[in-house]
Structure 1
Amino acid sequence: MDMHDSMIINGSCEPGYEAVRDAFAVNFAERGDVGASVAMVVDGQIVVDLWGGAVDSSKNAQSWQADTLVNVWSTTKGVTAACFAMLVDRGLIEYDAPIARYWPEFAAEGKGEITVAMLLSHQAGLCGFREPATLETFYDTEAAAERLAEQKPFWKPGTQGGYHAISVGFLASALCRRVDGRSLRQFVAEELAGLDITIGVPTNAAHRVAPLLAPRDMGTNDLVTDFNESQIAALLNPPLDPLVPNQHGWQYAEIPSANGFATARGLARLYGALSGDGMLDGKRLFGVEAIAAATTVQFTGIDSILGMPARWGCGFLCNVNGIYGPEPRAFGHSGWGGAFAFADPARKLGFAYTMNRMGKDLVGDPRNVALIDAIYR
């Protein structure tokens, strides 16, 4: 593929939003993108819906399509947060209630006071497994959740925020099943049908998945130096290879913290609903009270796992250090390697970017920065 071919950007961009299209094109020309999509919803209308590049870097690679799915890593956590806002809106669960009210076994080892909000804002101290874990551990969601429910926290719950990188997904799904009857994977499939957002890959969509590409030797061990016990549990038990989402086992598992597959359009539409009245295509996804509760800051401070400033809502990352632009009320979630999605409620804006070539910057990926700058220009 020569440079000229790679610059074909497909899709639509309403007048007035050309800066986003231009930044997206420059991501391919100068910032290393191979295949990617970007989408923006303003006031319920899709104003940017673009895709380009190829599904891999080989010579005869297929072009990225309008419906190409890609693993978005922790951007999945924002989808899980949205599902919990729906459960709260329906009165099935309360953020301030102890988890043990819905799941009595969870109270083991002094965890009876941990609330749903504490878990979703990474304060529960269950950031990973105490005993050695493998990828296979991740592939049995209910067993993983039960193992965490029996475990002693790594810190006194509520005293610090520390990123539950993978574990929060297992606990969230087990909790969803106990209050709604469905796993999170099933909940997303049924309640967000038509959005092209799934936990894992549906069997009928495998041909639409673009594999991830990553720099050689990249791994979760790059994320922190001088690991302590809780960081080892969160990030290195087991260590993750960035290409693991290309494996069948990962694609068919249910890991609602990290194995979401999506298009930018689907994520932007979800966040568009979150940025406004909670309606999508005439259907109520959430009430505004549930959105407000989900995005109320529960923890502000230095995240004890990642060692960087964080403001956590109930599963959403509330804007910190301008990562989601100049609007203080913006919220969303980003994923390892570069994918991200967020809402700006002041402008009723939902935005998402998905891509297959992972970058090494945990925050401040130049592609992300360029896109966010373009939105607000």
Structure 2
Amino acid sequence: MTKEIHGTVADGFEAVREEFAAFVAGERDDYEGQLFAYVHGRRVVDLWAGDGVEADSLYAAYSSTKGAAHLVVALLVQDGTLELDRKVTYYWPEFAAEGKGALTLRELISHRAGVVGTDTGFTAEEMADDRAIAERLADQKPFWRPGSAFGYHALVIGALTGEVVRRATGRTLQQVYEERIRAPYGLDFHLGLPAALESRYRPVQPMMPTPLQQAALDAAQTGPHTLASIAFNTHVPNPGTMVDYANSRTVRAKGPASAGGVAAARGLAGMYAATISELADRPPLLKPDTIAEVGQIHSIGYDLVSRTHRSYGLGFQATADTWHPFLGAGAFGHSGAGGSQAFADPRTGLAYGYTRRRLAFPGGAAPENQRLVRAVHTAALAVA
């Protein structure tokens, strides 16, 4: 493999290229990744590395998909089609079963519903189908009193909010995303990958932990009846792996809104740039009041599923608190289990996207994002 760095950076962002090159030089020979950033709608970083990788190569977005899903919700709230403080049952009456009737849409998208999965789990076919997931969750008894606490609804939050979108609009969340966000901007970020684009998809490669890292992963394994096992659907016989999930053509074709998206880094960054900035001669997708509300922290503290400190805005991760404390207050986005990171920092106008092919230890935003985000953010402040 050549460790040549491809692409360009704008004047003032040369240090970002140097940081990316230094990181890649120390990685495995089979490393593949992309880094892209906008500042106030202007492309400032467009870099990639790895054999066979192009600027438009597509990777599994995993939970970075949740950012696209909840941008749809934000647009519909902004339009007045959805109201955050209405009960979910106003849109979806069946959701009231088993004591969930008082939950509001605001609480639902803040990971406070308590239905992180089902007692018996989902089949692989169901995991690719948001409608099937939503139908099962409507009847599920919550694992904590709805609204009283929060926990990461890792594989189901997109199905839950997607069912609200479908009931309110008559369209699936994926259809609204395609019509209002992806297609108008030509974004390489797909919730439902067309067969014609399959040749650009780079299949996920499994994590290759060191012995010490493997020992840490083994120690973190949970029992079959924990909230974490239910939330990640590992309490079922033969649950499959994250690699199996993303590399399933059925998952990619249907684009389940929790973790089934496929993206290039420029697509991730482009979506967030369009959210907060003028882009392609179009005004920002979200108005300032909406941007402030989606980035406002709604759930913070002890996450019952991850058993760690987490914080969420309205469906988005509160990126400064969760990942990068040097970012501006109100930064919002979502990382993905494959190592991807994507966010908007409205105070600096920064929109960032990163993808990689091999799963990164220990999961979530890959560790290199710390140095890459800091380099991009520092340059963005310097040229402001």
Q: TM (normalized to structure 2)?
A: 0.88
Please, which of 148, 157, 160 is the counterpart of residue 168 of structure 1?
A: 157
8 A contact 2:336–2:365 mirrored in 1: no
Q: Which residue of 2 aligns with 1:243?
A: 243
Whole-Å Cα distance in 2 between the matches of residues 17 and 341 of structure 1?
18
Q: In structure 2, do the counterparts of structure 1 residues 237 and 119 end up closer, same or farther at CA, with 3 Å as the change threshold?
A: farther
Q: Which residue of 1 aligns with 2:203?
A: 211
Where do residues 184-263 of structure 1 align in structure 2 (5 Å cutoff)?
Answer: 184-191=173-180, 192-193=182-183, 194-215=186-207, 224-227=220-223, 229-235=226-232, 236-238=234-236, 239-244=239-244, 245-263=246-264
Whole-Å Cα distance in 1 between the matches of residues 74 and 45 of structure 2?
26
2:166 match: secondary structure: helix
Count how many residue pairs are aligned between Structure 1 and Structure 2.
362
How high is the sequence identity, in percent, across the aligned residues?
A: 37
Whole-Å Cα distance in 1 between the matches of residues 352 and 23 of structure 2?
16
Superimposed CA distance per residue, residues 309-331 of structure 1 (whole angstroms, 9 cap, x where no aligned partner): 11111111113556134023322
Q: Which residue of 1 aligns with 2:381?
A: none
Structure 2 residue runs of 5 or longer lacking an equivalent are 379-384
Whole-Å Cα distance in 2 between the matches of residues 240 and 313 of structure 1?
30
8 A contact 1:31–1:366 mirrored in 2: no
| 2:159 alignment partner AA | F
Tell me by how many angstroms 1:286 deviates: 2.0
Whole-Å Cα distance in 2 between the matches of residues 201 and 208 of structure 1?
10
Where do residues 201-350 of structure 1 align in structure 2 (5 Å cutoff)?
Answer: 201-215=193-207, 224-227=220-223, 229-235=226-232, 236-238=234-236, 239-244=239-244, 245-276=246-277, 281-321=281-321, 323-327=323-327, 328-350=329-351
Whole-Å Cα distance in 2 between the matches of residues 17 and 107 of structure 1?
52
Q: Which residue of 1 aligns with 2:7?
A: 11
1:72 match: secondary structure: strand
Superimposed CA distance per residue, residues 313-360 of structure 1 (whole angstroms, 9 cap, x where no aligned partner): 111111355613402332211111310101111101100101111112
Q: Which residue of 1 aligns with 2:382?
A: none
1:252 match: secondary structure: helix
Q: Which residue of 2 aligns with 1:57?
A: none
Whole-Å Cα distance in 1 between the matches of residues 365 and 202 of structure 2?
24
Whole-Å Cα distance in 2 between the matches of residues 145 and 163 of structure 1?
16
Matched, 1:108 2:84: no
Superimposed CA distance per residue, residues 141-176 of structure 1 (whole angstroms, 9 cap, x where no aligned partner): 212111101111110011111000001111122111
| 1:22 alignment partner AA | E
Once the two structures are overlaid, the 10-residue window that deviates more, 317-326 or 40-49, is 317-326
| 1:312 alignment partner AA | Y
| 2:350 alignment partner AA | L
| 1:257 alignment partner AA | S
Q: In structure 2, do the counterparts of structure 1 residues 97 and 85 end up closer, same or farther at CA, with 3 Å as the change threshold?
A: same
8 A contact 1:133–1:237 mirrored in 2: no
Q: In structure 2, do the counterparts of structure 1 residues 352 and 223 end up closer, same or farther at CA, with 3 Å as the change threshold?
A: farther
Matched, 1:30 2:26: yes
Q: In structure 2, do the counterparts of structure 1 residues 27 and 195 end up closer, same or farther at CA, with 3 Å as the change threshold?
A: same
Tell me by how many angstroms 1:124 deviates: 0.4
Structure 1 residue runs of 5 or longer lacking an equivalent are 55-62
Tell me by how many angstroms 1:82 deviates: 1.0
Whole-Å Cα distance in 2 between the matches of residues 326 and 171 of structure 1?
32
Tell me by how many angstroms 1:361 deviates: 2.0
Tell me by how many angstroms 1:254 deviates: 3.1
Whole-Å Cα distance in 2 between the matches of residues 88 and 128 of structure 1?
26
Q: In structure 2, do the counterparts of structure 1 residues 89 and 13 end up closer, same or farther at CA, with 3 Å as the change threshold?
A: same
Q: In structure 2, do the counterparts of structure 1 residues 284 and 321 end up closer, same or farther at CA, with 3 Å as the change threshold?
A: closer
Once the two structures are overlaid, the 10-residue window that deviates more, 183-192 or 224-233, is 224-233
Matched, 1:52 2:44: no
Whole-Å Cα distance in 1 between the matches of residues 15 and 377 of structure 2?
9
| 1:243 alignment partner AA | V
Tell me by how many angstroms 1:223 deviates: 9.4
Tell me by how many angstroms 1:256 deviates: 0.5
Tell me by how many angstroms 1:366 deviates: 2.7
**CA-based RMSD:** 2.1
Q: In structure 2, do the counterparts of structure 1 residues 45 and 148 end up closer, same or farther at CA, with 3 Å as the change threshold?
A: same
Q: In structure 2, do the counterparts of structure 1 residues 247 and 335 end up closer, same or farther at CA, with 3 Å as the change threshold?
A: same
Whole-Å Cα distance in 1 between the matches of residues 300 and 105 of structure 2?
17
Matched, 1:362 2:370: no
Whole-Å Cα distance in 1 between the matches of residues 109 and 64 of structure 2?
14
Where do residues 28-107 of structure 1 align in structure 2 (5 Å cutoff)?
Answer: 28-32=24-28, 34-54=31-51, 63-107=52-96
Q: In structure 2, do the counterparts of structure 1 residues 171 and 222 end up closer, same or farther at CA, with 3 Å as the change threshold?
A: farther
